Amino acid sequence: MSIYLGLDSSTQSLKAEIIDAEAGRVICSENVNFGKDLPEYNCPNGFLENSDPLIKHADPLIWVAALDLLFTRLQRQRAPLAEIKGVSGSGQQHGSVYLNSNFEKILESLSPAENLAEQLTPALSRKTSPIWMDRATSAECAELQQQFGHRMQQDTGSPAIERFTGPQIRKFARDEPENYRHTAHIHLISSFMASILCGQSAPVDFGDGAGMNLLNLKTRQWDHEIAEFTAPGLLDKLPPAVNSNTIAGGLSPYFTKYGFKQGTPVAVWSGDNPCSLVGVGASEPGVAVISLGTSDTFFAAMRDFKTDPAGCGHVFGNPAGGFMSLICFTNGSPAREKIRETCNVSWSGFDQLAELAPPGNHGNLMLPYFTVESTPLVLSPGVKYHGSEEFCSGRSNNSVKIRAILESQALTMKLHSRWIGEDFKRLRITGGASECRSFRQILADVFQAKIEQIAVPDSAGLGAALRAANAAGKIPFKTLYEKFTAATESLNPNPANAAVYTAALQTYAALEPDFRS
């Protein structure tokens, strides 16, 4: 057998997908939910509570503790860990971990008799990690933009963005200069987790590194001028940036206690979105991916490097080579959950009720900014209703409310993906809400594109496993896609609804500027 392990350290959980690359099947899956399984870290939803809604940090030790627990569970279910030929992983993008000069020494001497969290605690120079939901760096973003202007976006793929790592580092260096001075290594969650597996400080791959406002995508190197302005001596604290098929090292002896073989190749980890691009078999241009999760994301492999004039879309490295576009919509599943709770229905009832309202929903739309939003940038949350008096006053029936949230979310994806310049006729859909048939049909009709689903729901974890097979086993992605990512179900658009949604898109686009920050 040709067995590979993919790990997915997401906002709320750590998952494992073990694949048999020859047979083309997932042979084992496991999951650790941070809130349920590790309540002692006080991150019930993947982050620490804070009175300031703009601040979203997590305890980095929760990811470390989850690794021990996950491997314990895999061992108990007799997963073939000794037969694994390569490992890689996916990390929630933009989260950063700050470590002192003891980090590498501790990694080199990990004791199997103690758990990882206890041993790595002394390595932290900062006790918490800002994650992708953090929006507390507006001042730092403004300074970076004033200093570098249009070059910031043209060279790094994005303007200065609140959740990106560069502005987060600048704020840390300013607010906690002494702790910054004692920081020897700044890792992304992806490179931090890879470092633990390897027993040495691991590189950052181009896919995840592009989400930092620090990597020059034209040179594939850290941008010296931007890094030095961001924080003093920052270049010395960053790991090297490398191709996504780089082997970071061999598995640390620590993990032999779970049944792994020491020295098993560990490919550099990447971000969750680049890994999902691979996990749904979409790393070649022509097909876009919609991931419906805590945040909704729209991403696709790019034919040419280009940037979003509105500054909302981003360019990352494509793990299969070249570049990928990405747009993040923060109000994803939580916004759908708000409407479901308001209507007091089950998810199956939610789906059924959405189909009772007609396409276009009689012109009823909403700007669903229940929390701060990334696309467009909205730092002062609020919900705006447009349509009938009954709908705007909250007195409409549940089917109209549910249809409104789904159509509005589909329309904002269509609106903010136009800069990519491709008329996508195929959309691959993944994530929890992809099970909602009414939403799939709405997306198909709004985009006038075929919607395809794949069998494995954790596209990031599967993508990590496929990347391990490609990097460690030299198996071409095309071969892996044929075995793992064939569409299990497809849904065609209704051409009769094209005009309805063209008009709705124009209305929605006219409403948005009222809310932009």
User: Position 392: which residue type?
Assistant: C
Instruction: Return the higher-pLDDT residue of 48 and 380.
Output: 48
Q: What is the mean pLDDT of residues 287-293?
A: 92
310-347 pLDDT tens trace: 999 999 999 999 999 999 999 999 999 999 999 999 99
The whole-number average pLDDT for the span 199-225 is 97
How far apart are alpha carbons 464 and 325 in whole angstroms?
A: 19
Distance, CA of 18 to CA of 87 (rounded, Å): 9
Mean pLDDT throughout 145-170?
97
Hey, what domains does the chain have and what are their CATH numbers? 3-274 (3.30.420.40), 282-453+487-517 (3.30.420.40)
Quote the pLDDT of residue 469: 98
- Count of residues in the chain: 517
CA-angle at 381, arms to 375 and 384, nearest 5°: 85
How many whole angstroms separate alpha carbon 228 and alpha carbon 331? 34
Mean pLDDT within 427-435: 88
- Work out the average pLDDT over 104-124: 97
Mean pLDDT calculated for residue range 453-464: 87
For all residues of the chain together, what is the average pLDDT? 95
Q: In the predicted model, what is the mean pLDDT of residues 371-376?
A: 91
pLDDT surpassing 60 at residue 517:
no
Reported confidence tier of residue 1, pLDDT bands at 50, 70, 90: confident
Q: What is the pLDDT of residues 233-285, one digit of tens each?
A: 999 999 999 999 999 999 999 999 999 999 999 999 999 999 999 999 999 99
What does the pLDDT read at residue 516? 58
Mean pLDDT of 176-205: 98
Nearest one of 486, 501, 400 to 445, comparing CA atoms: 501
The pLDDT tens digits for 379-426 are 888 999 999 999 999 999 999 999 999 999 999 999 999 999 999 999
CA distance 444 to 490: 10
Mean pLDDT of 358-377: 94
Q: Could you tell me whether strands 84-91 and 270-271 are parallel, antiparallel, or unpaired per DSSP bridges?
A: parallel
Judge whether 189 and 250 are in contact, CB under 8 Å.
Answer: no
Query: What pLDDT was estimated at residue 87?
Result: 98
> Confidence class of residue 197 from pLDDT cuts 50, 70 and 90?
very high
Q: Give alpha helix (H) positions in 26-88.
A: 34-37, 61-76
* pLDDT of amino acid 336: 97
Which residues lie below 8 Å from residue 52, measured CB to CB, with a gap of 6+? 136
